[in-house]
Amino acid sequence: MHRKAPYGWYLTAFELPYIYPPAGTGKRTIQTTVAAGIIWVDKTSTPAILSTLVMGALRVDILTLFPRMFEGVFNESILRRAKEKGKVDYHVHDIRDHTRDKHRSVDEPPYGGGPGMVLRPEPVVRAVEAIPGYQQARRILLTPVGQRFDQARAKTLARIEHLILICGHYEGIDERVRWILEPEEVSVGDFILTGGELAAMVVVDAVTRLLPGVLGCEDSTMCESFSEGRLEYPQFTRPASYRGHDVPDVLLSGHHQKIADWRDKMSAERTWTRRPDLLEGTHDADHQRD
């Protein structure tokens, strides 16, 4: 792109002669490449000073004491295929690599006494700050005291460019990590895990499958549980009869509207009986009460 253009958003293939590092670093990296994405051209821009937002893979950085736990997860099924398609780029970091003593110590007893050990702040903060662009990334601390992770949050995270997940461990993490890094705090449920690694896997899986082009059928994410605030309807496949249990006739009828109506009804009934909390304050809740 070597001409002046009216200001506004452009979707194009373009040359990026300047790549700007995160604000505050005092550095400028010069790099020439060609990428497809969205560029913003303001009223005074020239090609040399374009502000860019490159649309590419979601970058996921995971900070953990046990990086090998992620090897199998990221190399199987949907998560592996998503990486092969260039939809997501996983980076797993060992927090111990950012210690500065010969024992690679990461934990200490809590001040004030109490059971267990607490993750020290220095290696965690240094590990995050070593990640390129961490200031602009969505930083999340996996912790049982965080906000509940749900499908709505997964959809939000699927629209960002850079996600950093910090896995807590032991009795907890030094509070100053929160003060310094100011991460969002997320919990995957009202139960306690040994560490944040399994929770991070849950978040990555839930987010990755929502990225455009990851699943074979884009409609797969539209009708499943929680996508519309309800549980998914019952599913059936071959054989049509098994051990005296038959597939509902409507699903074999070929009548698309009747099938859609049946699925809508079953979804509402299943949600009402199993998760009525999802229907509170909705028209579906009033209908079920009637």
Per the DSSP assignment, residues forming a β-bridge with 90 are 60
**DSSP secondary-structure letter at 113?**
-
| Segments of the chain assigned to CATH 3.40.1280.10 | 58-208
Mean pLDDT, all residues of the chain: 81
CATH 1.10.1270.20 residue spans of the chain: 224-289
Which residue type is seen at 216? Answer: G
* Phi-psi sector, 236: left (phi>0), alpha (psi -120 to 50), beta: beta
Q: How far apart are CA 270 and CA 227, in angstroms?
A: 15
**180 burial level (CB within 10 Å; 0-12, 13-18, 19+):** middle
Is the pLDDT reported for residue 164 higher than 80? yes
CATH number of 224-289: 1.10.1270.20
Rounded to 5 degrees, what are φ and ψ at 156? -65, -45
CB-count exposure of residue 61 (10 Å: 0-12, 13-18, 19+): buried
Dump pLDDT digits (tens) for 100-151: 999 999 999 999 999 999 999 999 999 999 999 999 999 999 999 999 999 9
What does the alpha-carbon distance between residue 9 and residue 263 come to, in Å, rounded to a whole number?
A: 41
pLDDT at 289 over 80: no
pLDDT of residue 202: 98
pLDDT band at 271 (very low <50, low <70, confident <90, very high): very high
Q: Which position has the higher pLDDT, 12 or 82?
A: 82
pLDDT at residue 60 is higher than 70: yes
Does the pLDDT value for residue 16 go beyond 80? no
Residue 91: both structure tokens together: 């980076």
- Give the helix ranges, DSSP H, for the chain: 77-84, 121-129, 151-157, 176-181, 197-208, 249-252, 256-274, 283-289
Give CATH for domain 58-208: 3.40.1280.10
Residue 43 has pLDDT above 90, yes or no: no
Residue pLDDT, tens place only, 217-250: 665 555 555 556 789 899 999 999 999 999 999 9
What percent of the chain lies above the pLDDT cut of 90?
Answer: 69
- Mean pLDDT, range 249-262, rounded to an integer: 96
Confidence of residue 46 (pLDDT cuts 50, 70, 90): very low
Confidence of residue 171 (pLDDT cuts 50, 70, 90): confident
Q: Is the pLDDT of residue 38 over 60?
A: no
46-64: average pLDDT: 63
Report the pLDDT averaged over residues 58-81.
Answer: 97
Q: What is the pLDDT of residue 220?
A: 58
b/e code 215-234 from CB counts within 10 Å (16+ = b): beeeeebeeebbebebbbbe
For 179-202, write each residue's pLDDT tens digit. Answer: 999 999 999 999 999 999 999 999
268 or 45: whose pLDDT is higher? 268
Give me the mean pLDDT over the 35-62 stretch.
Answer: 50
Confidence class of residue 259 from pLDDT cuts 50, 70 and 90? very high
CA distances from 214 to 54, 211, 219 (A): 19, 6, 12
Predicted local confidence at residue 221, as pLDDT: 53
pLDDT band at 170 (very low <50, low <70, confident <90, very high): confident
pLDDT at 54: 37
What single string gives the DSSP state of each residue in 29-83? EE---EEEEEEEE-TT--GGG-EEEE--PEEEEEEES-GGGGTTGGGSHHHHHHH
Whole-prediction pTM value? 0.74
Instruction: Provide the token pair at 56.
Output: 């590419």
Give strand pairing partners of 119: 107, 173
- 52 DSSP β-pair partners: 39
The dihedrals phi and psi of 28, each to the nearest 5 degrees, come to -130, 125
Question: Which residue carries 């903060």 as its tokens?
Answer: 125
Q: What is the CA 109 to chain-centroid distance, rounded?
A: 32
